[in-house]
Structure 1
């Protein structure tokens, strides 16, 4: 039982009020408690109140969290729409740009085809190499798999799509597991989607609580973990991105296959070849973007991994050029010769 247990019913009622005012808070406390609170405004979560009483600091948002979820822009909302196309939030593209792209996909005649095309148009060999050089090599989660990742990038741009896609799925899961083992006391043998989600939730809560250490209570605390997580997504942009990661992992990659539609991007269906679109080339970009979400989460805990997108530099360009030159020769020649041999593979 918390020290402020007597105030919890009042705080919960106030947190659900349509639009909170100082008078509402004062009247509610006067009606149910003997101590009069000291109330001040702050700008957290699009406007909120600090309520001081009995040496406790409580935070109440002006609008309920359900209202903020519906009417305030956040990555988590965009990701909900992007899940339909199996696309994790691209962290090198602006939030508004991606939101507009998803809206166009949703309103075109062939949404999935449009999504596949968009992925190719907005991803490149240079971006892949930049992530490899600046993020994956520096990552404690991925450093054991750096050769696999590099070979997967090479394979994809040399025309070996199937090898590239299939090789990154175990890297994704290994990296996710390593992240939680190294930074969050996770289970080194875990392959459970439910456990992965629980660990992602804990990461959001841990990071979010660091931002408001001076508060004893805030919406969701002590009564509803989902409200608590949503509160943190509005309080802190990093929590919002990690919650987007959680949404993508839960509702796309690890979604129970009974609820999967044909053409969906899903770990189980792809690895077990249960989906006829398992070899869709744009799935390489999809699984690659999933890897970048793991490095983003790690960047909060490991200073060696950049927090922001740092862009492509000359070194990245040189490595990309090396692969590109080989691709120009090998890709075209290989497929031409395969066709001459009568092998109908592509």
Structure 2
């Protein structure tokens, strides 16, 4: 799992929750062979965060997870915005959810909350200790996931926006503080990384809550929702593009 952790951190990602190890190993191998890099990662993440998979999460999981469920409507609207091609809105909607749910999870564990950057480092370290002490699940796998998430939040998501090391700009400060303009972000890759962080918080919550650590199964409700998401994708392709107008600064 350390091999996977290092491969995904190399391209600005982490070990995602609810994904089969076999798939991760195939992607990691292509990263290691320089077939996949940070600029070509998005199509692989699209397979993970597909209409069917996200529909199952929206209809069957997010509303059941302590702390994350307080933001279920915001998450649902952000997912819908993504499939409508509105990734600026989708990502900016999820950023406060990551922070809010993260802080509440930390509070529930009596984890020290200083800067927002330290929240996730300290939260993951606390989970790391619990998993090790109590021998929860596949310990080494979970620890590698936690370590990869620490690196992602500390070195990417919450780093100073001027120091963000990748071209996609999935960075909380740049997005929420307005340092990034239209052309700086708003791609699918930004959404995939943000929703992946939400899913990881669901996984952390499941360490103590009676919730499965596996992806939810499809249901009649999720199948209906995935059909709607597929329709949104078609509508997004038909959306007229606005004319580019240069605005002169005073």
TM over 0.5: same fold?
yes
Equivalent in the alignment of 1:81: 7
Of 170, 182, 194, 1:265 maps to 170
Deviations 1:227-264 (A, max 9, x none): xxxxxx98543333323322322232123446422415
Tell me whether 1:204 sits opposite 2:128 in the alignment. Answer: yes
Tell me whether 1:308 sits opposite 2:208 in the alignment. Answer: no
Whole-angstrom distance in 1 between the partners of 2:68 and 2:146: 18
Q: Quick one: higher RCO (CA 8 Å, sep 6+), 1 or 2?
A: 2
Q: Is the 8 A contact 1:119 1:285 kept in 2?
A: yes
Deviation at 1:116, TM superposition (A): 1.9
Equivalent in the alignment of 1:129: 55
State the SS of the aligned residue for 1:137: helix
Cα gap change, 1:191 to 1:105, in 2 (>3 Å): same
Tell me whether 1:144 sits opposite 2:70 in the alignment. Answer: yes
Deviations 1:51-110 (A, max 9, x none): xxxxxxxxxxxxxxxxxxxxxxx2x44222212322232323322421321331343467
Deviation at 1:156, TM superposition (A): 1.0
Cα gap change, 1:269 to 1:314, in 2 (>3 Å): same
Larger relative strand fraction: 1
Equivalent in the alignment of 1:67: none
Deviation at 1:176, TM superposition (A): 0.8
Equivalences, count: 242
Cα gap change, 1:254 to 1:77, in 2 (>3 Å): farther
Whole-angstrom distance in 1 between the partners of 2:90 and 2:15: 21
Equivalent in the alignment of 2:30: 104
Deviation at 1:152, TM superposition (A): 0.6
| Larger radius of gyration between Structure 1 and Structure 2 | 1
Whole-angstrom distance in 1 between the partners of 2:8 and 2:70: 30
State the SS of the aligned residue for 2:214: coil
Q: Is the 8 A contact 2:5 2:144 kept in 1?
A: no
Larger relative helix fraction: 2
Unaligned runs of 5+ in 1: 1-73, 213-232
CA RMSD in angstroms, aligned pairs only: 2.7
Tell me whether 1:299 sits opposite 2:206 in the alignment. Answer: yes
State the SS of the aligned residue for 2:159: coil
Whole-angstrom distance in 1 between the partners of 2:79 and 2:189: 13
TM-score calculated relative to the size of structure 1: 0.62
Deviation at 1:327, TM superposition (A): 4.5
Whole-angstrom distance in 2 between the partners of 1:92 and 1:163: 25
Whole-angstrom distance in 2 between the partners of 1:327 and 1:196: 33
Cα gap change, 1:280 to 1:306, in 2 (>3 Å): same
Whole-angstrom distance in 2 between the partners of 1:309 and 1:323: 19
After the TM superposition, which residues 1-346 of structure 1 pair with which residues of structure 2 at under 5 Å, given as runs?
74=1, 76-108=2-34, 111-182=37-108, 184-186=109-111, 190-211=114-135, 235-257=139-161, 259-263=163-167, 264-274=169-179, 277-303=184-210, 305-328=211-234, 330-333=235-238, 335-336=239-240, 339=241, 343-344=243-244
Between stretches 123-132 and 311-320, larger displacement belongs to 311-320
Whole-angstrom distance in 1 between the partners of 2:17 and 2:196: 8
